[in-house]
Amino acid sequence: MGAFYETIPQPTIKWILEQAMFWVATAPLGGRGHVNVSPKGGKYFGVLDERTFYYMDLTGSGNETISHLLEPGNGRITIMFNAYDGPPKIVRLWGKGRVLEVGTPAFDAFVTDHKVDLLPGTRSIIIVDIHQVGSSCGFSVPYYEFRGHRQILNDYFAKKKAKFDEGKKEESMDRYWAHKNAWSMDGLPGLKRGLIAGKTEKVEPIKKMVGPLAPRNGATRRFELSLVQIMLVVLASMLLGIVIMCGSSGSQNDLRALMHELVANVDFDLAAAKNLTLLNGH
């Protein structure tokens, strides 16, 4: 049944390393941002100690995890493993994530120290500093027979690398990252090399969200006040001014409370402003 720990128990570490896949969940700080859950397959992960988990982050069309971990004040991440055969079991690792981007000294040092065999298309190492571990029954998880890992992604980026090595500069990973990994669907900045390549090589980022709710890259919806929200704040301020002029202390207190509630509902977050400030430095 369910149990919680501050660190990963040794038997659980052994069980984790036997698994063929896991799930990664992250989210932006703003309540209107999108929660992301990504499946990860392959033996591209490890447990450094009872408080530290890592995995090799392969390039894909999305980069929500990286954007959420890099968001100022964020870094929240959950790793989940579950058994598809044998005794039922679910294990979650809660913690703060760090992004070691490919090409940085921190990335190179980690790969060397831990003898990581890199694959073409590797864009980062994600490290999770764990502060809580939970296990649960998994009684309703269905049985699945493991047949093997897909090699499609690995083959795709191996061919892309070979074309680039032949002199086809348009096949560079930096251009791919600029097109698909520079921004999240909520407009948060992502892979730094992608952001830089987008500017230096003039690569347009892919549009990841459509419709009227789609944000502008670099300006999350938390930072943008709607016309209705602005009108509510103006109205509350006007009413407060009227009551103050009338001099009723009870009414003043009631209206102040109303105004504070209206302003709170605006969901204005200074973290968004920090994001814009950071972007101006790229």
- Residue 118 belongs to domain with CATH number: 2.30.110.10
* Straight-line distance from the first to the last Cα atom of the chain, in angstroms, rounded to the nearest whole number: 49
Where residue 150 falls among pLDDT bands split at 50, 70, 90? very high
Confirm whether 176 is domain-assigned. yes
Indicate if 155 and 50 belong to the same structural domain: yes
3-state secondary structure of 13: helix
Dihedral angle at the C-alpha atoms of 231, 234, 240, 246, nearest 10 degrees? -100
Indicate if 182 and 255 belong to the same structural domain: no
Indicate if 11 and 93 belong to the same structural domain: yes
Q: Is residue 161 within 8 Å of residue 148, measured between CB atoms?
A: no
User: What residues make up the domain containing 250?
Assistant: 227-265
Confirm whether 236 is domain-assigned. yes
Determine the residue type at 108.
D
pLDDT value of residue 276: 45
The dihedral sign for the CA sequence 142, 146, 148, 149: positive
Pick from 18-22, 123-127, 269-273: least confident: 269-273
Indicate if 50 and 185 belong to the same structural domain: yes
Chain CA centroid to CA 221, Å: 16
pLDDT value of residue 223: 45
pTM of the model: 0.79
Strands (E), 189-253: none
The string of pLDDT tens digits covering residues 87-100 is 999 999 999 999 99
Mean pLDDT confidence for 227-255: 69
pLDDT higher than threshold 60 for residue 30? yes
Confirm whether 249 is domain-assigned. yes
Indicate if 247 and 165 belong to the same structural domain: no
Residue 271 has φ and ψ, to the nearest 5°, of -60, -35
Indicate if 117 and 257 belong to the same structural domain: no
Where residue 242 falls among pLDDT bands split at 50, 70, 90? confident
Indicate if 193 and 237 belong to the same structural domain: no
pLDDT higher than threshold 50 for residue 222? no
Strands (E), 71-156: 76-82, 90-101, 122-136
Determine the residue type at 207.
K
Confirm whether 221 is domain-assigned. no
Confirm whether 275 is domain-assigned. no
Q: Is residue 159 within 8 Å of residue 43, measured between CB atoms?
A: no
Indicate if 152 and 245 belong to the same structural domain: no
pLDDT higher than threshold 80 for residue 75? yes
Confirm whether 278 is domain-assigned. no
Number of structural domains the chain divides into: 2
pLDDT value of residue 50: 98
Mean pLDDT of the chain: 88
Indicate if 9 and 75 belong to the same structural domain: yes
Indicate if 157 and 61 belong to the same structural domain: yes
Residue 240 has φ and ψ, to the nearest 5°, of -65, -40
The string of pLDDT tens digits covering residues 163-214 is 999 999 999 999 999 999 999 999 999 999 999 999 999 999 999 998 988 8
Confirm whether 281 is domain-assigned. no
Indicate if 93 and 166 belong to the same structural domain: yes
In what helix (H) or strand (E) does residue 254 lie, and over which residues does it extend? helix 249-265
Q: Which residues pair with 58 in a beta bridge?
A: 122
Confirm whether 210 is domain-assigned. no
Query: Percentages helix, strand, coil for the chain, rounded to the nearest 5?
Result: 40, 25, 40
**CA–CA gap between residue 175 and residue 170 (Å, rounded):** 7
Long-range pairs, 279-282, Cβ under 8 A, ≥24: 279/189, 279/218, 282/189, 282/192, 282/195, 282/196, 282/199
Indicate if 26 and 158 belong to the same structural domain: yes
Where residue 253 falls among pLDDT bands split at 50, 70, 90? low
